[in-house]
A = this chain, B = another copy of it.
């Protein structure tokens, strides 16, 4: 008998097959049992007639608890009312493990309880849908960059120095009392590999030791960072447009079923198409200040700061697609950003704000090319010069205009799924008070 997966049933209509999986749910009605089986590729309703199986099997099946492991064999029967279009008329089964007391039941559980049982929570239909969307987002990112001529160059996790500021570093005991730090960004390493290979990206876990408990922060998160030699801020904005619209299109194309489970409004993703609005920071500040005057924003935003979550939500709510805010005050941006030649107090940076209040998903821009400028910036930011000597070499030997960005995968997945909190977008989230399971 054919051993198949639930998502292959349409190829076996009328045939006998064997499915293997876990009991998702069970209804019974006198001489009928309706076990729902899940196998990771889908859920199918099975039908067991008391007369169709041995008495022994009937008895072993009728009291099976949620998440019991079993294989069932039977005939695939098309049924328009069934969620996947098919049911299985069972004529035999084998129980691998009968389970009692699976901790996560259809009733409501508190978030802490679910997070403590994350290894089991992952078996629910909603979590499946989110992880499948994550799978598609990650592959869309990689396929897009590979087809666009970027070479993957993994950046190291263990680094000798900070990149995005020294206060949010996790410290590691390396060998012989040496200290290392978990990477906050592959940015600086990307600049080295971009000078070698032209267009590169890194894509791996990054870390921020922030004591922050918002719905948008994890201490460990995955980030993709493309970097292009001979590129400018405008090139980065063009890339952001093509990149995000490719991701949204792939999710729409491959994850229709999952978006239904998540009750995601597809039209929100369908509008993610170029061109994205491009708004100078100065203009964004005006909009925020006018919003405050009209009483639509509680606090008045002053020129010079970084936007808070309410500010980002307010500006981006004016658009149906991602908003690119560019040319920020240099003082609030990283030391390596290039200055605007027409306004030296501005950095040639861009933040891409996702619509629907999802806030910043991408940060990027053009990098400073001048050795002298970067030397000054290291001093001004009180960064240890010695640890950056290798980075300064990139300005000594063949310095060219270059630019790139970083996108946090979990924020992008939360946005695609239309869910509230990034903690559900990664199999095992790490947060301020959470490194288990």
Contacts A96-B398, A119-B192, A122-B192 given; 18 further ones with Cβ under 8 A? A23-B398, A40-B197, A40-B198, A41-B198, A120-B192, A122-B197, A132-B151, A138-B152, A139-B142, A154-B205, A156-B435, A160-B435, A160-B436, A171-B173, A175-B433, A189-B428, A193-B427, A205-B205
A276 at the interface (CB under 8 A from B): no
Please determine whether B154 and A427 come into contact, CB atoms closer than 8 angstroms: yes
A377 at the interface (CB under 8 A from B): no
State which of B69, B159, B170, B398 has its C-beta within 8 Å of the C-beta of A399. B69
B-chain residues with CB within 8 Å of residue A103 when the two chains form the complex: 397
Give the residues from 97 to 142 in chain A that come closer than 8 angstroms, CB to CB, to chain B: 97, 99, 102-103, 117, 119-120, 122-123, 127-128, 131-132, 134-135, 138-139, 142
Please determine whether B123 and A151 come into contact, CB atoms closer than 8 angstroms: no
Please determine whether B151 and A432 come into contact, CB atoms closer than 8 angstroms: no
B-chain residues with CB within 8 Å of residue A428 when the two chains form the complex: 155-156, 189
B-chain residues with CB within 8 Å of residue A204 when the two chains form the complex: 204-205
A-B contact pairs, 9 of them (CB 8 A): A23-B398, A41-B149, A96-B401, A117-B393, A131-B151, A158-B435, A160-B435, A175-B432, A192-B427
Q: Name which residue of chain B comes closest to A396, CB basis.
A: B99
A341 at the interface (CB under 8 A from B): no
B-chain residues with CB within 8 Å of residue A146 when the two chains form the complex: 135, 139
Give the residues from 260 to 312 in chain A that come closer than 8 angstroms, CB to CB, to chain B: none
Give the residues from 174 to 223 in chain A that come closer than 8 angstroms, CB to CB, to chain B: 174-175, 178, 180, 182, 189, 192-199, 204-205, 207, 209, 211, 219-220, 222
A163 at the interface (CB under 8 A from B): no
What's the Cα separation between A168 and B398 when bound, in Å? 40
What's the Cα separation between A82 and B337 when bound, in Å? 40
Q: Binary interface profile of A, 396-413, with partner B (CB < 8 Å = 1, else 0)?
A: 111111000000000000
B-chain residues with CB within 8 Å of residue A193 when the two chains form the complex: 122, 131, 427
* Shortest distance between the CB of A363 and any CB in chain B (Å): 21
Q: Name which residue of chain B comes closest to A426, CB basis.
A: B154
A383 at the interface (CB under 8 A from B): no
A68 at the interface (CB under 8 A from B): yes
State which of B153, B182, B401, B427 has its C-beta within 8 Å of the C-beta of A427. B153
What's the Cα separation between A153 and B146 when bound, in Å? 21
* Shortest distance between the CB of A433 and any CB in chain B (Å): 7
A316 at the interface (CB under 8 A from B): no
What's the Cα separation between A199 and B157 when bound, in Å? 27
Closest 4 CB pairs of A and B: A40-B198, A390-B437, A119-B192, A40-B197
B-chain residues with CB within 8 Å of residue A178 when the two chains form the complex: 435
A26 at the interface (CB under 8 A from B): no
Please determine whether B171 and A400 come into contact, CB atoms closer than 8 angstroms: no
A351 at the interface (CB under 8 A from B): no
A20 at the interface (CB under 8 A from B): yes
Q: Name which residue of chain B comes closest to A430, CB basis.
A: B158
* Shortest distance between the CB of A69 and any CB in chain B (Å): 4
What's the Cα separation between A396 and B119 when bound, in Å? 12
A394 at the interface (CB under 8 A from B): yes
Please determine whether B400 and A20 come into contact, CB atoms closer than 8 angstroms: yes
